[in-house]
Structure formats: C-alpha cells, structure tokens
Amino acid sequence: MARSLETTRALEALREMWRGQGLAGRALMSIGLAVLTIFLVWSAAGLVKGAFSSRPADPPVALKTETPSLPATSQPTMTVVDGPVTLSLEKGAPDPAGKLRKIAAGDLPDLQIGYSWFGILKEQSIDGFDGPPGWTAHFTWSRRPSSGANIDVFDTQAHAAAALEQVSGGPASLLLIPNPDGKTRYVAMDIAAPDGGTTYPMRCAFRIRSFYCSTIPAGVPAIVTVQVTIDTVTEGTSQAELDAKVAEMTGEMGKETDEVMRALAAQGLDGTRAVAR
C-alpha cells in the first residue's frame, strides 16, 4: 500500500511539472522520457538474455526407439558378410606322394589351419635302392638347423605299418634311421604333445646328439621320421641325470612331432582338405 501511495505522489508531481512547462520544456521532457524508456527496455532485454545464457544447458533427451517385434514366421533373415569363416572337411583319394611333390614345387594351399608350412621339402630318388615292400617315395624336410623330418610314402597303410615294425635294428632302419656304424639304439616310445592332448606311438633311435622318432600319421600310408638335434644320454650318468635328460629329449621330440603332424594335416596329406564356407 505504501509503495502504491509513493507511486501516485510521484505521478502527481510529474503532472504538475508538465503543466508548468512551456512548449519547449514539454518537448525536452518528452524526448527525455523517450530516451529513458528506450534505455530501460534495452536494459531489461539484456538482463533477460543474460539470464538465459548463464543458465546451464539442459541434458540431452535420450530418444527411445522401439522396433516392433515381428511374428516368428515373418522375422527377416540377415546375412553377415564379415562374419567368421566356417571350416568344413572334404575327403578325396589319399595321395601323399603327389601332395608332397606339389608342396616341394611351391604349390601350397591358401587355407592353412593353425600351422603354416616352412622349411625346404625335397624328393630323393629311390631308384636302385632295395627298400621295404610297397615303398614308393622318400622326401626330406629341412625345417630348422636343430630339427628336420623324413617322409617315406608307401602304396598301402599295411606296408607302412609293416615297415614301421622293422624300425628296431632291421632292414627298415637303414632307410628310416641310418645306422652306418651299428651304434644306433632303438626303442619303442609313446611321445606326448606339449599340451598332453595327443600321444604319438613311435619307434625311436638314439645317436650321439641326434634323437629320431618315427610314426604313421592317421589315415596316411606313410612313415614320418622326426629328427631333433640334442645331446643324448651318455654312459656313466646317474639315474637323476638320466631321468632329466630323457624328459628333455621327449619334451623336445613331442613339441617337434606335434608341429610336424599338424602341418602335414593342414596340407591335407590324408586326402582330407579344409574348405571355407
């Protein structure tokens, strides 16, 4: 109520001043009031703008979109172009000699599973050499300075198995594991892969700094002989030293044999090849 009374008195005073002025005075007062009004309006606009500009921005509104579910019979099918490749196996006639000849010529399959082929593969002539029955081809595979492999191919798995049985000092040992000085010692051993998931029944031979083991890959009419260059057991060692050396040798042989077998399997040596779908 007091504020209204003061406003009324101010307006009455302003009217009295207006009545007491001449034309020139009234013109000046009109101009002054106009300027004051413009200033007040401009100030009010600035205050409003500043209030809005200093106000924190509202957080973005998350738009929720829902895709209507379709009945099971009308759900769209999607083809993922960059999805994982599905591998499947196709079987053909086993031809290990032909497969190895292609590899020796540099023809490697594009698709290799887990292990790539490396090293130098060469076919050695067997003409004029009286080998085991059914023996058709002999390959040497130089993998690294400390290891290698021989692959002897037979016409049937029965002939390969019969030849492997002779790897204990018989005629086949001259082919698979040389024994020129009669000092090679032969023994049958089960060699385990590093992960322990696979065990290879092998015929093994010991020579100074050389450890050989032979086995037949599953489904392949061939004998694979793996060589590891390593110090073998010498005479006069204690039982503890002997056990440690045997563990070292079999561990190295298991690692090398497993890698050789996986590399051969990846090339489809048994007539089975992997194809991408």
Low-confidence residues of the chain: pLDDT under 70: 1-87, 109-116, 169-171, 174, 235-236, 274-277
Q: Is residue 256 part of a domain?
A: yes
Query: HSE of 156 in the Cβ direction (CA atoms, 13 Å)?
Result: 5
In this structure, are residues 219 and 210 in contact, taking their beta carbons and an 8 Å threshold? no
Closest to 260 in 3D by CA, of 89, 97, 116: 116
Whether residue 34 sits in one domain with residue 164: no
Whether residue 163 sits in one domain with residue 248: yes
Distance CA(196)–CA(247), nearest Å, equals: 14
Whether residue 150 sits in one domain with residue 269: yes
Q: Is residue 71 part of a domain?
A: no
Structure-block tokens of residue 272: 């089975």
Structure-block tokens of residue 18: 């207006």
Q: Is residue 58 part of a domain?
A: no
Structure-block tokens of residue 4: 């209204």
Q: Is residue 79 part of a domain?
A: no
Phi–psi pair at 186, nearest 5 degrees: -110, 145
* Predicted pLDDT at 29: 61
Query: How many Cβ atoms are within 10 Å of 166's Cβ, its own excluded?
Result: 17
For residue 19, what are the contacts with CB-CB under 8 A and spacing of at least 6?
none
For residue 114, what are the contacts with CB-CB under 8 A and spacing of at least 6?
262, 266
Helices (H), ranges, 127-186: 157-165, 171-176
Structure-block tokens of residue 219: 């489904």
Q: Is residue 74 part of a domain?
A: no
Beta-bridged to residue 151, according to DSSP, are: 139, 224
State which residues form the domain around 255: 87-276
Structure-block tokens of residue 37: 């009004």
Phi–psi pair at 207, nearest 5 degrees: -135, 170
Q: Is residue 119 part of a domain?
A: yes
SS3 annotation, 81-105: CCCCCCEEEEECCCCHHHHHHHHHC
Whether residue 176 sits in one domain with residue 115: yes
Whether residue 215 sits in one domain with residue 152: yes
* Predicted pLDDT at 24: 56
Whether residue 189 sits in one domain with residue 124: yes
Whether residue 11 sits in one domain with residue 141: no
Whether residue 110 sits in one domain with residue 177: yes
For residue 148, what are the contacts with CB-CB under 8 A and spacing of at least 6?
119, 140, 141, 142, 226, 227
Closest to 274 in 3D by CA, of 152, 38, 114, 79: 114
Q: Is residue 8 part of a domain?
A: yes
Whether residue 108 sits in one domain with residue 193: yes
Number of domains present in the structure of the chain: 2
Whether residue 224 sits in one domain with residue 139: yes
Whether residue 141 sits in one domain with residue 30: no
Whether residue 9 sits in one domain with residue 93: no
Distance CA(176)–CA(48), nearest Å, equals: 98
* Predicted pLDDT at 110: 58
Using DSSP's 3-state secondary structure scheme, residue 16 falls into helix
**Residue 166: its H or E element:** none
Q: Is residue 63 part of a domain?
A: no
